[in-house]
Amino acid sequence: MLLVLLVASGGAVAQPYVDAQLALGKPTGFDVGLEALVSTGIPVAQRKNLFLEAELATTLMAPQEDSSGISHSSLGGYGIYRRMVDERLALHGKVGMLYQYSTPEQDGIQRGLGIAIGVGATIRHDRAISYLIEGVAVQGTLDLFRISAGIRYLFR
């Protein structure tokens, strides 16, 4: 939704991308679980290294605490600063806000806003495909740390 509004308002142009990632996520007080992430991003017009990104994340295998688990999903928006190291490798930092929705087995539904900050790298395979890895810390209704790896497709 955020990206649609930005494109419609002329806030961004050409070369959007889409990411698909698998992540190991560790909520505070729980074991590690498996998550799926899908995101899409666009460059900010007249800002060479800045991007806006929208991300959807959801639990595939719920993290456990003793005998109970917690499933969670989030929808986030990020500002990203990306810097090319050489013609194949880029490093990036990201900061954003997200809406979290979690369902602990014992406490019921928890919802709310959170903030996220992370770092990552991409390695370009060819003109359209890159591989990426990220580490992101989330502070919100569910505090967690996630390490993800995936693939990026750049539309040209």
CATH number for position 34 = 2.40.160.20
- Is 71 a domain residue? yes
- Is 62 a domain residue? no
Tens of pLDDT, residues 97-149: 999 998 876 677 889 999 999 999 999 999 999 999 999 999 998 899 999 99
Q: Is 3 helix (H, G, I), strand (E, B) or coil?
A: helix
- Is 57 a domain residue? no
- Is 88 a domain residue? yes
- Is 113 a domain residue? yes
Residue 122, Cβ neighbours under 10 Å: how many?
23
Q: Which domain does 74 fall in, by range?
A: 2-7+17-51+67-154
* Number of domains comprising the chain: 1
Q: For the whole model, what pTM was predicted? A: 0.83
- Is 61 a domain residue? no
Residues contacting residue 20 through CB under 8 Å, at least 6 positions apart: 36, 37, 38, 150, 151
Tens of pLDDT, residues 28-59: 888 999 999 999 999 998 888 999 999 999 99
